[in-house]
Homo-oligomer: A and B are copies of this chain.
Amino acid sequence: MVYRLWYWPTIQGRGEFVRLALEAAGLDYEDCARTMGADAMMQDLAERAKDGRGPYAPPYLALGSLAIAQVTNILQFLGQQHDLVPSNLADRYWLNQLQLTIADVVAEVHNVHHPVAMMDYYDTQAHEAARAAEQFRDQRLPKYLDHFEAAAAHGPTEWLVDHRWTYGDTSLFQLIEGLRYMFPKRMATLEPRYPALRRLHNAVAALPGIRAYLASDRRLPFNTDGIFRRYPELDAA
């Protein structure tokens, strides 16, 4: 059984949260648009839309005629199919809740560089982005990181739940990676406050599947087409 992952082929973006879970779990998947191109993805999407139940947008994970879209939904699906989630029901809802809060941060991060016109270029809204970035850096970001630090510090191990990694860990890893890329100055200021998150980040990076992935050309570099974008004018200590 090989999963077919469909996501934009030149960016990490939202698809990276799925790629990391697949890689950490050692699951077989084809990153289809990277071999077949984005046009093939748009054709696949259009085909799946015909019965009224297609994904709204990539990323989506396909297994035959079944297509699961929305990052949080995909991660929940993978977790349940491959025993990658806690057995305790309360822990599962907690994990899903945390992933949804990560998704909220990701949406806010995108909004920082596209505050007024999601479909237009950054250059057309750089002035507005500067204002959005200031409040995100100073107010929103520390509040979110405080929340995640408390979650990471909760248990007896480096993991969010029990004694093994879950998709919540790989997603927090990616969030920190992205924030370090986008806001290097601000993160240098903030990170000393978050030892549990740093420990979790290191633990994910050391997972065999993740270590191999990060060293491979399957891991795309961050760039200014993705969700986390380095525009130096949006960063400050």
CA distance A184 to B58 in the complex (A): 31
- Residues in B whose Cβ lies below 8 Å from that of A120: 135
Min CB–CB distance A98 → chain B (angstroms): 9
Size bracket of the A interface? 35 or more
Of chain B, the residue at the smallest CB distance from A124 is B131
Distance A113 CA – B140 CA, assembled complex (angstroms): 17
> Which residues of the other chain, B, contact A132 by a CB distance below 8 angstroms?
115-117
B140/A118 in contact, CB under 8 A: yes
> When the two chains form their complex, are residues B153 and A135 in contact, meaning their CB atoms are under 8 A apart?
no
A214 is an interface residue with CB less than 8 A from chain B: no
Give the secondary structure class of A's interface: helix
Q: Evaluate contact between B116 and A128: CB separation under 8 angstroms.
A: yes
Q: A209 an interface residue at 8 Å Cβ cutoff?
A: no
Give the copy number.
Answer: 2
The answer to whether A116 touches B119, judged by C-beta atoms less than 8 angstroms apart, is no
20 residue pairs bridging A and B, Cβ less than 8 Å apart: A52-B151, A53-B150, A55-B97, A68-B93, A68-B97, A69-B97, A70-B96, A70-B101, A72-B100, A76-B93, A104-B107, A115-B115, A115-B116, A115-B128, A116-B128, A116-B135, A117-B135, A118-B135, A119-B140, A128-B128
Q: 7 shortest A-B CB distances, which residue pairs? A: A52-B154, A52-B150, A70-B100, A116-B131, A116-B132, A115-B115, A56-B101
Please list the residues of chain A having a beta carbon within 8 angstroms of any beta carbon in chain B: 49, 51-56, 66, 68-70, 72-73, 76-77, 90, 93-94, 96-97, 100-101, 104, 107-108, 111, 115-120, 128, 131-132, 135, 139-140, 144, 147, 150-151, 153-154
